[in-house]
């Protein structure tokens, strides 16, 4: 997967991708990231990319021309153009997995100020929101999209690491523990220390259902549960 991120703040994107699992995915050529400074695509003096709204209204608006020129500079026949906006389709794990499978090249546009000239939409394939709140800019949204897709690309992380992650099979993850065995009187469940693999698996299956039932009952889809989990749910 190649990501081309169009932004007014290249350093914000750069700082994030130079860390952790994303950095490793880059080093292993599992992904590529191209950061495009929107100001490189204006023809106006002083690198101007925004202007006042027609009709009045508070806040500056990103101009259509630099954005379209930036898109056209990197677009190929295999590109999918995503606009970050609170007005878009809400980003979810299912979309992250679908994008990881379906697309070779994502162009992600980060907005700022009051947003974009509406005519930008004529050059966009999909509008994406990361939730029902308003951020100051699209960089965090772009990084959420990049991070969640990258995690779903084969070999970026071990498959067993995400097989029971939250949202897989419409369940939340089971609780996990590490050392010490006891912290201020609170102990790791005995079964996890037992070395009995079948019982440990049963504990994890059960805890996924209980955890989801307590925190996100709306997610549960009984058809996706194994027999043991169905029994737990119906207890
Ligand atoms: N006036 C716009 C509106 O109310 O729809 C909001 C503009 S916001 C201050 C500036 C930029 O931040 C947006 O153009 C978008 O790129 C990004 N942004 C803000 N909230 C977002 C969200 N929930 N999801 C994705 N991008 C968001």
Q: How high is the mean pLDDT in each 10-residue block of the chain (235 residues)? A: 98 95 96 98 97 95 98 98 98 97 98 96 98 98 98 91 87 97 98 98 96 96 91 90
Looking at domain 164-233, its CATH class is mainly alpha
17 is in an annotated binding site: no
Alpha carbon of 145 to ligand 1 centroid (Å): 14
* Buried-state track 103-137, b at ≥16 Cβ within 10 A, e below 16: bebbbbbbbbbebbbeebeebbeebbbbeeeebeb
Nearest CA to 70 out of 130, 25, 18, 10 is that of 10
133 is in an annotated binding site: yes
Would you state the pLDDT for residue 110? 98
* Burial class of residue 1 in the structure, from the number of CB atoms within 10 Å of its CB (0-12 exposed, 13-18 middle, 19+ buried): buried
Q: Where are the domains of the chain?
A: 2-159, 164-233
Ligand 1: which of 8, 86, 107, 136 to mutate, judged by most atoms within 8 Å of the beta carbon?
86
3-state secondary structure labels for all residues of 127-194:
EEECCCCCCCCCHHHHHHHHHHHHHCCCCCCCHHHHCCCCCHHHCCCCCCCCCCCEECCEECCHHHHC
Would you state the pLDDT for residue 159? 81
Evaluate whether the domain defined by 2-159 bears CATH number 3.30.70.2190.
Answer: no
Angstrom CA distances, 189 to 112, 175, 186, 207, stand at: 48, 10, 9, 11
Would you state the pLDDT for residue 20? 86
Would you state the pLDDT for residue 78? 97
CA 120/CA 86 separation, integer angstroms: 15
Pairing of strands 186-187, 182-183: antiparallel
Instruction: Give the active site residues.
Output: 86, 114, 151, 165
Would you state the pLDDT for residue 161? 77
Alpha carbon of 196 to ligand 1 centroid (Å): 50
- Two structure tokens written together for 181: 């065995």
């Amino acid at each position: 997967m190649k990501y081309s991120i169009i932004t007014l703040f290249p350093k914000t994107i750069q700082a994030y991708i130079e860390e952790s699992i994303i950095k490793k995915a880059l080093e292993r050529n599992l992904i590529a990231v191209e950061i495009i400074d929107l100001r490189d695509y204006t023809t106006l003096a002083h690198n101007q990319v925004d202007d006042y709204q027609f009709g009045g209204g508070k806040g500056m608006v990103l101009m259509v021309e630099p954005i379209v020129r930036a898109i056209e500079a990197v677009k190929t026949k295999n590109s999918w153009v995503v606009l970050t906006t609170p007005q878009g389709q809400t980003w979810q794990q299912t979309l992250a997995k679908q994008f990881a499978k379906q697309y070779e090249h994502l162009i992600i546009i980060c907005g700022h100020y009051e947003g974009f000239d509406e005519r930008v939409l004529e050059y966009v394939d999909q509008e994406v929101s990361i939730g029902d709140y308003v951020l100051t800019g699209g960089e965090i949204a772009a990084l959420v999209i990049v991070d969640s897709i990258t995690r779903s690309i084969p070999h970026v992380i071990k498959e067993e690491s995400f097989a029971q992650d939250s949202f897989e099979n419409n369940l939340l993850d089971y609780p996990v523990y590490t050392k010490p065995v006891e912290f201020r009187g609170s102990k790791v469940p005995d079964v996890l220390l037992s070395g009995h693999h079948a019982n440990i698996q049963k504990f994890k299956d059960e805890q996924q259902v209980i955890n989801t039932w307590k925190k996100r009952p709306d997610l549960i889809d009984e058809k996706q549960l194994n027999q043991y989990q169905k029994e737990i749910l119906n207890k």
